[in-house]
Amino acid sequence: MTSAPPRRPKVGLFVTCLVDLMRPAVGFAAARLLSNNGCDLVVPPEQTCCGQPAFNSGDREDTRAIAEQVIATFEGFDYVVVPSGSCAAMMKVHYPELFAAGSNWRARAEAFSAKVFELVSFLTDVLKIEALDARFPASATYHDSCSGLRELGIHDQPRRLLAGIDGLSLTEMKDPDVCCGFGGTFCVKYSDISNAIVERKAANITASGADTVLAGDLGCLLNMAGKLKRDGSAIKARHVAEVLAGMADTPAIGEG
């Protein structure tokens, strides 16, 4: 009485430039989550960045060139999975807008867009995973990163999966859906304003009483972790993928 094994979807992992450079652990966690849950995983070595810095700086031409390269590299997969809401939104929502309506590249970008998913929403919405077998003894609070939340509608998915993690208790902070002040180049160009925003975020995280802050976007995490550490806080920051993959026994972001 065996049914045919479900086809293993061929998934291309786009690790994002920040994960590649700043936090490889997130890439390994994403890779494990995908391979352990029935995906045929490939990490194309020629990937670089999704083009967001150029896009948000008004440099359309470079953005388009980068987008073409990403599309060409990844369009052969069934799915393209990204452990970042903002990079996923860049590829899913904004790539098609870069090309003239009716053009060949527009058609390719649209077909590509349909295959792109943020990691956690891919697990829940595509692979239909309701619970993962992992342990993480901590009390955590979850920060909704802006692009994932507002451009991709990611809100319940990470909370649902986290709720099933053994040992983890989840507390909501005040205003979990308010920006942490990262904003890509914004945090460097307007660092005083960015600081005022992340100060409020850090205060809300602290007031939640949690010992760990989780998020799905490394940009926000570097920002929040950097602020908490500068203030001497003991609160740890981690990408949600590390927890879901059961790989949260390594040092947290910014810790030795």
Partner 1 sequence: MQITAPKFKENATKALHDASLQKALGNVERGFVAKRAKAAAALPEFDALRDAARDIKNHTLENLDLYLEAYEEKVTAAGGHVHWASTAKDARDAILDICKTANARTVTKGKSMITEEIGLNDHLEKNGIHPIETDLGEYIIQLRGETPSHIIAPAVHVNKEEIEADFRRVHTHLPKDRQITEPTALLSEARVVLRQEYFNADVGITGANFLIAETGSSIIVTNEGNGDLTQTLPRVHIVVASIEKVVPTLEDVSTILRVLARSATGQDMSVYTTLSTGPKRPEDPDGPDEYHVILLDNGRSSMLGTEFQDMLRCIRCGACMNHCPVYHAVGGHAYGSVYPGPMGAVLTPKLWGIDQSGHLPNASTFCGRCESVCPMRIPLPKMMRHWRERAFEAHQEPAAQRYGLSLWAFLAKRPKLYHLATGIAARGMAMLGGSKRRLSSLPLAGGWTKHRDLPAPEPKTFLQQWAEGKR
Among 137, 167, 209, 251, binds partner 1 (CB under 8 A): 251
Contact call for residues 121 and 157 (beta carbons, < 8 A): yes
Half-sphere exposure of 177 (CA within 13 A, CB side): 8
244 lies in the site for partner 1, by CB under 8 A: no
233 lies in the site for partner 1, by CB under 8 A: no
For residues 132 and 206, what is the distance between their CA atoms, to the nearest angstrom?
Answer: 27
Q: Taking Cα atoms as reference points, which of 175, 178, 256, 188 lies closest to residue 223? A: 188
Report in angstroms how near the CB of residue 102 gets to partner 1 at its nearest: 18
What separation in angstroms does the CA of 141 have from each of 26, 102, 202?
18, 45, 12
Report in angstroms how near the CB of residue 3 gets to partner 1 at its nearest: 29
Which one, 37 or 195, has the nearer CB to partner 1?
195
Stretch touching partner 1 by CB under 8 A, among 4-12, 206-214, 217-225, 238-246: 217-225
Q: Taking Cα atoms as reference points, which of 15, 81, 93 lies closest to residue 48? A: 15
147 lies in the site for partner 1, by CB under 8 A: yes
For residues 192 and 66, what is the distance between their CA atoms, to the nearest angstrom?
Answer: 31
Chain positions 84 to 113 lying near partner 1, rule: CB under 8 A, are none
What are the strands, taking DSSP E only, across the chain? 10-13, 40-42, 79-82, 116-118, 135-142, 166-170, 212-215, 236-239
Which one, 32 or 160, has the nearer CB to partner 1?
32
Report in angstroms how near the CB of residue 107 gets to partner 1 at its nearest: 22
For residues 69 and 105, what is the distance between their CA atoms, to the nearest angstrom?
Answer: 11
Chain positions 169 to 208 lying near partner 1, rule: CB under 8 A, are 177-179, 181-198, 200
Among 37, 43, 106, 139, binds partner 1 (CB under 8 A): 43
Among 1, 7, 46, 128, binds partner 1 (CB under 8 A): 46
Among 9, 11, 12, 17, binds partner 1 (CB under 8 A): 17
